[in-house]
């Protein structure tokens, strides 16, 4: 199963993207296809959004907006990427906008949390025990800016150039932000997240 | 950049997507999007094979209708009225589809569209009085006239693409012509056919099919024009 998934992933990188039958059915107005498309992607998209906005209500708003927008603009989707990648990009952009709406909030957290933590010498990665649940919690403790860069790189698989483009910042900023975010995450993990 | 954390996340990626979204979200999206309304959402890329398949289905249905009604009896080719929707460009505005002899012509489409449907007016008894039969004929003729007019109008609209897309136009026109020839065939059987009602119904259905087909064709043209426009805009922006 895993190997076949990996194969599919490889194919997606090299092969031209084939027309997605489910998407085509939606374009034709098949209402069941809409439901199937939602079922297929909703969970992954919800988790993606939740990691960025860090708030279930906001993530739900993002989901609703993103899927509505995607369904309404299906005719603008031309298979330049997979449908999943296209939709994810919509979800991410909306999540970031949601965060920016709460900008005051973001700055406060940044100041209070970064201040007393050294950015340079964090714990050695090899000394920290890694557990899925702990990492999820620790990511939630990260300040908004760090968390966004870290999730886009670590979980969503964007490279640093792409993240720089999404966030409209320089590549160097993304690199340092990611390194700091990661140090902080490891620190939380070492301290133990409660 | 060291990679233990990255590797761990990659290995356990699916476990990180464990949260379930609220089921109410889908209901809200459904309300916002209302996919039922999107039935006429434009296709950006038109699959010609799929379109031909649709046309084939339409023709099959028309053929079946014709076959069923033709079983009612063979007749002499005595034409009652000429075709309302010939492709010849000569059919001018002032000469709409000619009607059966002695039919009152009405251009009030709002009125004709309110005519009772065939199912409602069809008498249960097979043997009906002469007056009932004429009444039925009248209303059906009116309805048919209405459709014939619409088909004619759509045809003119379609004709406007002949210059830009001659190939497409020819293909479209041939599809419509096939239906139209079935219509003529039905018409020729009308005078002698004992089951007049059924035949008229078939003719009416044929006209409705023609209109549906023309509507689809016009939709496709609209979409082509739309995608041409967007492609042009895209090219203009990128260069």
Task: Tell me the per-residue pLDDT of A93-120, one tens digit each, with 9 for 90 and over.
Answer: 999 999 988 764 444 444 444 444 444 5
- Min Cα distance B9 → chain A (Å) is 7
Q: What is the 3-state secondary structure (H, E, C) of chain A?
A: CHHHHHHHHHHHHHCCCCCCHHHHHHHCCCHHHHHHHHHHHHHHHHHHHHHHHCCHHHHHHHHHHHHHHHHHCHHHCCCCCCHHHHHHHHHHHHHHHHHHHCHHHHHHHHHHHHHCCCCCCCCCHHHCCCCHHHHHHHHHHCCHHHHHHHHHHHCCCCCHHHHHHHHCCCHHHHHHHHHHHHHHHHHHHHHCCC
User: Are A27 and B41 an interchain contact pair (Cβ–Cβ within 8 Å)?
Assistant: yes
Q: Is the pLDDT of residue B42 over 70?
A: no
Q: Check whether A132 has a pLDDT greater than 90.
A: yes
Which range scores top for mean pLDDT: A24-38, A152-166, B139-153?
A: A152-166
Judged against a pLDDT cut of 90, whether residue B122 lies above it is answered with no
For residue B39, the chain A residue with the least C-alpha distance is A29
Sequence-separated (6 or more) residues with CB below 8 Å from residue A187? A117, A122, A123
Interchain CB distance below 8 Å, B41 and A68: no
- Name the minimum distance, in Å, from the CA of B209 to any CA of chain A: 20
Residue B92 has pLDDT above 70, yes or no: no
Does residue B95 have a pLDDT over 60?
Answer: no
Q: Do B26 and A50 touch (CB under 8 A)?
A: no
Identity of the residue in A29, A47, A155 whose CB atom sits nearest the CB atom of B9: A155
Task: Give the closest-approach CA distance of A28 to chain B in angstroms.
Answer: 6
Mutate to test the interface with B, among A21, A33, A46, A52 (most CBs of B within 10 A): A46
The average pLDDT across B90-116 equals 43
Per-residue confidence at B10, pLDDT binned at 50, 70, 90?
A: very high
pTM of the shown model: 0.49
Measured between CA atoms, the residue of chain B closest to residue A71 is B33
Pick the residue from chain B with its C-alpha nearest to A78.
B44
pLDDT band for A5, please (50, 70, 90 cuts). Answer: low
pLDDT of B16 strictly over 90: yes
Residue B222 touches chain A, beta carbons under 8 Å:
no
Residue A144 corresponds to which tokens in the numbers above?
Answer: 């908004």
Residue B207 has pLDDT above 80, yes or no: yes
Instruction: Say yes or no: ipTM exceeds 0.85.
Output: no
**B173-178: long-range contacts, CB 8 A cutoff, minimum separation 24:** B173/B87, B175/B55, B175/B58, B175/B59, B175/B213, B175/B217, B176/B85, B176/B87, B176/B210, B176/B213, B176/B214, B176/B217, B177/B87, B178/B59, B178/B62
Q: What residues of chain B lie within 8 A of the CB of A6, using their CB? A: none
Q: Report residue B95 as tokens.
A: 């000469």
| Chain B residues whose beta carbon lies within 8 Å of the beta carbon of residue A46 | 19-21
Q: Spell out which residues of chain B touch residue A137, defining contact as CB-CB under 8 Å.
A: none
B122 against A144, higher pLDDT: A144
A179 shares contact with chain B (CB less than 8 Å) = yes
């Amino acid at each position: 199963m895993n190997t076949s998934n990996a194969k599919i992933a490889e194919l997606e990188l090299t092969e031209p993207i084939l027309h997605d039958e489910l998407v085509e059915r939606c374009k034709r107005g098949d209402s069941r296809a809409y439901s199937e498309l939602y079922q297929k992607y909703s969970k992954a998209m919800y988790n993606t959004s939740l990691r960025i906005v860090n708030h279930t209500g906001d993530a739900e708003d993002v989901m609703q907006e993103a899927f509505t927008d995607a369904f309404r603009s299906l005719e603008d989707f031309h298979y330049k990427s997979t449908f999943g990648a296209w939709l994810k990009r919509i979800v991410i952009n909306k999540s970031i906008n949601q965060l920016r709406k709460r900008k005051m909030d973001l700055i406060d957290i940044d100041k209070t949390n970064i201040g007393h933590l050294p950015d340079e010498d964090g714990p050695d990665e090899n000394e920290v025990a890694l557990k899925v649940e702990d990492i999820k919690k620790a990511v939630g403790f990260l300040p908004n800016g760090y968390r966004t860069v870290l999730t886009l790189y670590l979980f969503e698989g964007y490279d640093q150039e792409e993240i720089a483009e999404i966030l409209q910042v320089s590549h160097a900023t993304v690199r340092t932000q990611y390194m700091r975010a990661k140090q902080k995450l490891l620190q939380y993990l070492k301290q133990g997240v409660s | 950049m060291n990679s233990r954390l990255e590797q761990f996340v990659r290995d356990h990626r699916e476990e990180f997507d464990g949260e379930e979204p609220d089921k109410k979200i889908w209901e809200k999206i459904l309300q916002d999007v209302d996919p039922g309304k999107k039935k006429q959402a434009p296709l950006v890329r038109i699959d010609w094979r799929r379109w031909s398949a649709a046309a084939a289905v339409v023709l099959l249905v028309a053929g079946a209708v014709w076959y069923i009604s033709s079983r009612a009896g063979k007749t002499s080719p005595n034409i009652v009225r000429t075709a309302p929707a010939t492709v010849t460009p000569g059919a001018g505005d002032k000469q709409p589809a000619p009607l059966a002899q002695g039919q009152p012509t009405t251009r009030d489409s709002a009125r004709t569209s309110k005519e009772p449907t065939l199912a409602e007016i069809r008498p249960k008894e097979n043997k009906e009085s002469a007056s009932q039969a004429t009444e039925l004929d009248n209303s059906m003729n009116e309805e048919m006239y209405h459709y014939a007019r619409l088909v004619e109008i759509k045809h003119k609209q379609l004709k406007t693409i002949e210059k830009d897309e001659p190939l497409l136009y020819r293909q479209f026109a041939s599809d419509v012509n096939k239906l139209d020839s079935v219509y003529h065939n039905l018409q020729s059987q009308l005078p002698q056919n004992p089951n007049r009602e059924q035949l008229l119904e078939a003719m009416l259905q044929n006209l409705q099919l023609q209109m549906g087909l023309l509507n689809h064709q016009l939709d496709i043209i609209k979409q082509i024009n739309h995608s041409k426009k967007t492609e042009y805009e895209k090219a203009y922006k990128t260069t």
